[in-house]
């Protein structure tokens, strides 16, 4: 198959967002997605960002983090373990639209990890206390351009110390590589479809530069292996 056009973001919807999946399918989809995350070292950029944000914080300090579009919650469970291993006291909240996500994340979270799994649209969520950091992974590309712009402004206004968007680089090699990996791993048809489409819905440096300029924000745009293009700001 010839490569699609990578010069602009695709606007076809992901199946995950528009199809009603039975619970078992949705669990299989998120399980495969987590395998893809592990194989591509997806959590590292977010944990590196949190390490920079909390540098010099004293032992016992509370760390409040919100994760947008948490899926089945693997990132927040990792952040919890990471924070505890550094002597911080994590207070974590996930925000996700999909009711399957809250149920699955709750089931996968051991009782000792007190994480608040909130269900709803991120733009309707009003935290009682501002998170120190707002993070997300594989979430921004689900939004239309106007909402990504809105996300930047909202994060800046809502997080007290900083925010980090961990997303994909729109690049033909990422698209080809994902398709080959998904085929070899026999991932769920939805993961095969949405993963490849996610690359096409994702961003390049110039997209982020333009949206940050429009929002009047200075932030760090960094590429991380494998094909993660991340945008972060520490206030």
Interacting residues toward ligand SAM by CB under 6 A? 33, 37, 68-71, 75, 95-98, 101, 121-122, 137-139, 142
Name, in order, each residue with C-beta under 8 angstroms of 154's C-beta and a sequence gap of 6 or more: 122, 123
Q: How far is the CB of 82 from ligand SAM (least distance, A)?
A: 16
Phi, psi values for residue 116, rounded to 5°: -90, 110
Does residue 153 have a cis bond before it (omega within 30 degrees)? no
Residue closer to ligand SAM, measured from CB, 87 or 106: 106
Whole-angstrom Cα distance, residue 141 to residue 193? Answer: 15
Closest CA to 127 of 166, 100, 157, 82: 157
Residue closer to ligand SAM, measured from CB, 63 or 138: 138
Whole-angstrom Cα distance, residue 74 to residue 105? Answer: 8
Residue closer to ligand SAM, measured from CB, 11 or 121: 121
Q: How far is the CB of 97 from ligand SAM (least distance, A)?
A: 4
Residue closer to ligand SAM, measured from CB, 98 or 217: 98
Q: How far is the CB of 181 from ligand SAM (least distance, A)?
A: 15
Q: How far is the CB of 183 from ligand SAM (least distance, A)?
A: 19
């Amino acid at each position: 198959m010839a490569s699609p056009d990578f010069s602009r973001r695709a606007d076809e919807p992901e199946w995950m967002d528009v199809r009603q999946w039975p619970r078992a399918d949705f669990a299989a989809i998120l399980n495969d997605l987590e395998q893809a995350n592990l194989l591509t070292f997806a959590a590292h950029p977010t944990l590196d960002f949190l390490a920079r944000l909390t540098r010099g914080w004293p032992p016992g300090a509370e760390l409040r983090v919100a994760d947008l579009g948490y899926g089945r919650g693997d990132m927040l469970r990792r952040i919890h373990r990471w924070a505890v291993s550094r002597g911080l006291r994590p207070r974590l909240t996930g925000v996700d639209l999909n009711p399957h996500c809250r149920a699955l994340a709750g089931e996968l979270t051991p009782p000792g990890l007190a994480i608040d799994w909130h269900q709803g649209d991120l733009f309707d969520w009003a935290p009682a206390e501002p998170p120190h950091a707002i993070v997300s992974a594989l979430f921004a590309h689900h939004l239309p351009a106007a909402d990504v712009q809105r996300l930047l402004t909202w994060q800046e206004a809502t997080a007290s110390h900083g925010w980090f968007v961990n997303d994909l680089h729109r690049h033909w090699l990422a698209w080809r590589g994902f398709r080959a990996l998904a085929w070899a791993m026999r991932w769920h048809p939805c993961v095969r479809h949405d993963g490849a489409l996610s690359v096409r819905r994702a961003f390049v440096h110039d997209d982020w530069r333009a949206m940050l300029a429009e929002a009047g924000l200075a932030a760090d745009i960094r590429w991380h292996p494998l094909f993660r293009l991340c945008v972060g700001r520490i206030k």
